[in-house]
């Protein structure tokens, strides 16, 4: 799927440099957000080139499926699955991409941007244990390192809480911010990639 061979009309020196650049990025392994018509998932990006990438995810992708990959630096690519052999699949970009730009840490649009763990959109009921209170809440989005919740009762920033999530157990966290009926929490321990990706996949199959 990945064409790592430069065009035949390139000068030989340029061809060798092009091949070296592609070989250098072939070993990347980046945690990213995978978005499809079937929902959000986590994935690992590997073998990145100008016209496609290899994706590693427990979620079975289908040949012909349109997906978007969002990287931690805010950049994203869109394309089509051209081969699938779970847990791996090959994505061909809709247009050629600049590999250096995709991997760049330079802020997009000149604005300061902090790279963070990819967040996936979820709609998951949870119980929030805040001191002596037990609050019903809805998890809006989730990453390995934290979550955004919709909760009607006020929870002050700095509060220590525990989230009871079906399939993930108890997640201890601290409230980082509170706004209207939403709060953002940071987990004390990062959820392992395999644990979270398998959980997301199991939700899609239910």
Residue-wise pLDDT for 43-90, tens only, equals 999 889 999 999 999 989 999 999 999 998 889 999 999 999 999 999
Q: Give all domains of the chain, ordered by start, each with its CATH number.
A: 12-110 (2.40.10.220), 120-205 (2.40.10.220)
In this prediction the pTM is 0.74
Residue-wise pLDDT for 30-42, tens only, equals 899 999 998 899 9
Considering only CA atoms, give the Rg of the chain. 20
3-state helix, strand, coil in the chain (%, to 5): 15, 45, 40
Strands (E), the chain: 30-36, 39-46, 52-56, 66-70, 76-85, 88-93, 120-130, 133-142, 146-150, 160-165, 169-179, 182-187
Whether residue 23 contacts residue 48, with contact meaning beta carbons closer than 8 Å, is answered with: no
Residue-wise pLDDT for 106-135, tens only, equals 656 555 455 578 999 999 999 999 999 999
């Amino acid at each position: 799927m990945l064409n790592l061979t430069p065009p035949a009309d390139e000068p030989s020196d340029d061809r060798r440099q092009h091949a070296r650049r592609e070989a250098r990025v072939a070993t990347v392994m980046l945690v990213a957000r995978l978005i499809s018509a079937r929902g959000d998932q986590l994935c690992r990006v590997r073998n990145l080139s100008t016209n496609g990438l290899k994706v590693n995810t427990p979620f079975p992708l289908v040949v012909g499926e349109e997906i978007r990959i969002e990287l931690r630096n805010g950049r994203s690519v869109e394309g089509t699955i051209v081969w699938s052999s779970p847990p791996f699949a090959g994505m061909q970009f809709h247009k050629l991409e600049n590999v250096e730009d995709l991997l760049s840490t330079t802020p997009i649009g000149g604005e300061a941007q902090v790279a963070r763990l990819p967040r996936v959109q979820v709609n998951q009921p949870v119980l929030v244990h805040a001191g002596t209170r037990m609050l019903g809440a809805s998890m809006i989005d989730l990453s390995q390192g934290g979550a955004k919740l919709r909760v009607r009762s006020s929870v002050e920033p700095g509060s220590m809480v525990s989230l009871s999530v079906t399939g993930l157990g108890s997640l201890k966290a601290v409230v980082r911010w509170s706004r209207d009926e939403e709060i953002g929490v940071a987990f004390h321990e990062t959820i392992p990639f395999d644990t979270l990706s398998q959980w997301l996949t199991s939700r899609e199959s239910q």
